[in-house]
Amino acid sequence: MKTAEKLAAGWLLTLGFMFVTLSATASLEKFTTRKAIIIPTGEYEFNAPNATYEDNNAAAGGLIFGVPTLTLGTWLALGLYRQSRQEKKAINQQVSDRLQSIFYEMLQENNGRVTVLGFAIQSQLPAAHARQYLDEKAKEFNANFKVNEEGAVSYHFDV
C-alpha cells in the first residue's frame, strides 16, 4: 500500500510540474511573440498567424490541470513523510522502553550490579552501544564503577 502511495505521489508531482511548466512556457511565449503582422499585397491583406489564442488556452489548461495535480501530489508526499516519521518515533520509543525494562530487571536481580557484557547479552546490543547506554544511566543515577583484574567494568547502582 505504501509503495502505491509513493508511486501515486511521484506521478502526481511529475504531472503537476509538467502542466505548470507548460503553462509558464505558453505565457512566456505569448508575451515574447509579436502581434499580428499585416502584410498589404494589393487587394488582399494577409495576417500572420496569431498564436495568442492557442497560448491562452495552453496557459489556462496548464494551470487548471497543473495546480490541483501538484497540490494533491504534495499533500500525498507530505502525508507519507509524516507517517514514516511517526513510525520511526514509535519504533525508537519501543526500543527505549525495552532497554529500560531490561536495565531495571538486571538491577533488581543483581542487587544494583551490572556489567557491560551482561547487559549486552540481555539486550542483544553491540558492546559499544551497551557501554554507551550504561554510561548514560551511570551519570543519571550517580553509579560507582569497579574494574576487575581483567579490565572489565562493572557498574554499581544504589538500589
Nearest to 19 by CA among 76, 58, 73, 72: 58
Report the range of poorest mean pLDDT among 34-48, 97-111, 118-132, 136-150: 34-48
Same domain, 8 and 82: yes
Is there a single domain that holds both residue 25 and residue 57?
yes
For residue 28, how many C-alpha atoms fall within 13 Å in the half-sphere facing its CB? 6
pLDDT digits (tens, 9 = 90+) for 39-86: 555 565 555 555 567 777 888 888 899 999 999 999 999 999 999 999
Does one domain contain both 76 and 11? yes
For the residues 89-106, what does the mean pLDDT come to?
A: 93
What pLDDT sits at residue 61?
Answer: 87
Report the pLDDT averaged over residues 115-143.
90
Q: What pLDDT, on a 0 to 100 scale, did the predictor assign at position 143?
A: 86
Report residue 33: phi and psi, to 5°: -80, 150
What pLDDT, on a 0 to 100 scale, did the predictor assign at position 74?
95
Q: What was the pLDDT predicted at 36?
A: 46
Mean pLDDT of the region 28-32: 75
Give the per-residue pLDDT at 148: 78
**Residue 26 or residue 70, greater confidence:** 70
Q: In terms of domains, do 77 and 140 share one?
A: no
- Across the beta sheet with 113-115, the strand order is 113-115, 153-156, 144-147
Residue 96 and residue 43: Cα distance in Å, rounded?
Answer: 90
Q: What is the pTM of this model?
A: 0.62
Query: 103 lies in a domain?
Result: no
Domain match, 49 and 115 both: no
Quote the cell numbers at residue 40.
498589404
Q: State residue 49 phi and psi, 5-degree precision.
A: -60, 135
CATH no. for residue 20? Answer: 1.10.287
Instruction: Yes or no: say if 80 and 9 are a contact pair by the CB < 8 Å rule.
Output: yes
Q: Which of 33, 56, 91 is the last residue of a domain?
A: 91
129 plus 53 within the same structural domain: no
Residue 19: all three cell numbers together? 502542466
C-alpha cell of 38?
A: 499585416
Mean pLDDT in residue range 130-158 = 85
- Closest C-alpha to 112, from 137, 130, 87, 132: 137
Rounded Cα distance between 94 and 130, Å, is 17
Structural domain span for residue 3: 1-91
> Residue 159 above 90 pLDDT?
no
Q: Which of 9-23, 33-47, 61-75, 112-126 has the lowest mean pLDDT?
A: 33-47
